[in-house]
Amino acid sequence: MASVLPSGGDAVTVNGVDGASPPAVKQSRAPITEAEMHAEFAHHDGAVARLNNGSFGCCPATVLAARARWQRLFLAQPDAFYFHHLKPGLARSRAALAAVVGAGDASEISLIDNVTTAAAIIMQHVAWSFVEGDFARGDVVLMFLYTYNAVKNSIHAYVARAGATVVEVPLPFPLASADAIVAEFRAALAVAKDGGRRRVRLAVIDHITSMPTVLIPVKELVAICREEGVDKVFVDAAHSLGQVPVDVRDIGADFYASNLHKWFFCPSAVAFMHTRKNDTVATKLHHPVVSSEYGNGLPMESAWIGVRDYSAQLVVPDVIDFVNRFDGGVEGIRTRNHDKVVEMGTMLADAWGTFLGTPPELCGSMVMVGLPGCLGIESEDDTVNLRTMLRKRFKVEVPLYYNSRTAEVPPEIVKDSNGDPVTGYVRISHQVYNVREEYDALRDAVAKLVADGFSCAKLRPSDEQETPACMTSIDELSASPARGS
């Protein structure tokens, strides 16, 4: 009988299974064929044009199978799993990831559920710094206007409440170049510092903003923070790994967190947070869920937050094997995705008489494409209604953006070829499973709405109606023929 190992992370063999791996099933390492690639994503709903990898990502069949093996290993003998497999397995995932993202070693990597959790870890620490008197009331936390809503909420819930002043960096959109981002960032930093009267304790910089999506020159902004005496920089890289090159030491932030379930083929929920080994603040970070590992450092605290399913975090090496079957590995995947999304975005913009929201160098595998102004998008509710209609009537899944700041941007940039102001955009993604026909479906759906004289006003509730008009309309419209049928 195998002896019971206390927590410590050493791999052992129990009942023929090595501690860091579930019962092995040989995964092919040969270059992936077109047919195999399609089989990997055969569980996707084939009736839907899935143009929104950005929100929830995707997970191939071989990785799901590896995950199921971990889950069965747990169910077969939970105690043995806990004492012999969990920690070595997580250590193996962290080491594999450290090599992929250029970290010093696995001790710099914590595996967490998602970037929402990363934000909570950082903001909790900053809030305690106010409460314990390390920071003075009014010291600043800087973030973008387009910082993701959950992260903004975290800043307000933890840090503003503890006494921080929150300063937003307002970005123009559409954007012509990275220079505008740098200029706005410098200007906001000057406001934040108030002529040296205030300390900037934390800058939250997105690597790729969500909505609208823009690739931010993060390394340059981190360098500006260093020059300007900002205490700490947290890079919200929720979309980055798999979409843009990630070298955490080169970027140079204090805290860098990326999801793995968006663009790195992991099942949800798994993300990593990088902190530097020699950073004294990093040693003071705590997971917001306090467990028996409290005080053992963030990587260990994160590795045990109570009884739950850890299998998503255990399959990182399987994901790396999967991406390495593609020509050029993850770099090859992201380069092809970038080229394709720009090609498809340009195709849509040409068909609709609009434009891309950013030049190609300011996007990864997602890009914003202007929608024809005649669709009459005038609010976020309009985008929700129109998106629902695209899903139900046309079987196209794509997120929409309402640009409420259109009026502030020079008018020649924001008009379509008919002279109508462009107030709405689609955010399209490209991932390995996408095909041209899916973008054609989106193009044709919008073209049909334009040809039919559709306007979002038709989906708004009228004052007399108890049931919003949009609901009735969408349900009626959803009876129309589905794409591909």
**205-235 b/e (C-beta count within 10 Å ≥ 16 → b):** bbbbbbbbbbbbbbeebbebbeeeebbbbbb
Q: How far is the CB of 235 from ligand PLP (least distance, A)?
A: 10
> CA–CA separation, 344 vs 338, rounded Å?
10
Interface with ligand PLP (CB under 6 A), residue from 21, 52, 240, 259: 259
- Encoding tokens for residue 456? 């979002």
Interface with ligand PLP (CB under 6 A), residue from 151, 188, 216, 270: 151
> CA–CA separation, 319 vs 49, rounded Å?
24
Helix (H, G, I), strand (E, B) or coil at 14: strand
How many other CB atoms sit within 10 Å of the CB of residue 137? 10
Interface with ligand PLP (CB under 6 A), residue from 90, 103, 106, 115: 115
Task: Name which of 198 and 219 has its Cβ closer to ligand PLP.
Answer: 219
Task: Name which of 51 and 91 has its Cβ closer to ligand PLP.
Answer: 51
Q: How far is the CB of 236 from ligand PLP (least distance, A)?
A: 5
> CA–CA separation, 389 vs 370, rounded Å?
18
Task: Name which of 49 and 151 has its Cβ closer to ligand PLP.
Answer: 151
Q: Of residues 407-446, which lie at the interface with ligand PLP (CB under 6 A)? A: none
Q: How far is the CB of 52 from ligand PLP (least distance, A)?
A: 11
For 26, half-sphere exposure in the C-beta direction (CA atoms, 13 angstrom radius) is 3
Task: Name which of 302 and 354 has its Cβ closer to ligand PLP.
Answer: 302
CA distances, 274 to each of 111, 141, 153, 245, 333 (Å): 9, 20, 22, 15, 23
Interface with ligand PLP (CB under 6 A), residue from 62, 210, 354, 406: 210
DSSP category for residue 160: I
> CA–CA separation, 336 vs 183, rounded Å?
31
> Could you say whether residue 397 binds ligand PLP (CB under 6 A)?
no
> CA–CA separation, 222 vs 204, rounded Å?
10
> CA–CA separation, 157 vs 164, rounded Å?
11
Q: Of residues 293-352, which lie at the interface with ligand PLP (CB under 6 A)? A: none
Helix (H, G, I), strand (E, B) or coil at 241: strand
CA 366 to chain centre: 11
Interface with ligand PLP (CB under 6 A), residue from 12, 150, 281, 477: 150
Binding span for ligand PLP by CB under 6 A among 148-156, 358-366, 377-385, 447-455: 148-156
Task: Name which of 338 and 443 has its Cβ closer to ligand PLP.
Answer: 338
Q: Of residues 228-257, which lie at the interface with ligand PLP (CB under 6 A)? A: 236, 238-239
Backbone angles phi, psi at 314, to 5 degrees: -85, -10
Task: Name which of 239 and 338 has its Cβ closer to ligand PLP.
Answer: 239
> CA–CA separation, 71 vs 77, rounded Å?
10
Task: Name which of 239 and 393 has its Cβ closer to ligand PLP.
Answer: 239
Residue with tokens 């009736």: 47
Q: How far is the CB of 30 from ligand PLP (least distance, A)?
A: 32
Binding span for ligand PLP by CB under 6 A among 108-116, 171-179, 347-355, 460-468: 108-116
Task: Name which of 54 and 353 has its Cβ closer to ligand PLP.
Answer: 54
- Residues that bind ligand PLP (rule: CB under 6 A) add up to a total of 12
Task: Name which of 116 and 383 has its Cβ closer to ligand PLP.
Answer: 116
Question: Footprint of ligand PLP on this chain (CB under 6 A)?
Answer: 114-116, 148, 150-151, 206, 210, 236, 238-239, 259
